[in-house]
Amino acid sequence: MFGKMGDMGKMMKQAQEMQAKMAVMQSQIELLIVEGVSGGGMVKITLSGKGLIKGMTIDPSLLSPDEGEILEDLIMAAHNDAKGKAEAMVAEKTKEIMGDMQLPEGMNLGF
pLDDT score at 55: 96
User: At 30, is the pLDDT very low, low, confident or very high (cuts 50, 70, 90)?
Assistant: confident
All structural domains of the chain: 34-97 (3.30.1310.10)
User: At 9, is the pLDDT very low, low, confident or very high (cuts 50, 70, 90)?
Assistant: confident
pLDDT tens digits, 97-109: 777 655 555 555 5
By the 8 A CB rule, do 70 and 87 touch?
Answer: no
Q: What is the mean pLDDT of residues 66-90?
A: 93
Which contiguous run of DSSP H or E holds residue 106? none
**pTM of the complete model:** 0.69
User: Taking all residues of the chain, what is their mean pLDDT, rounded to a whole number?
Assistant: 84
By the 8 A CB rule, do 84 and 34 touch?
Answer: no
Distance in angstroms (rounded) separating the CA atoms of residues 93 and 69: 36
Q: What is the mean pLDDT of residues 60-81?
A: 94
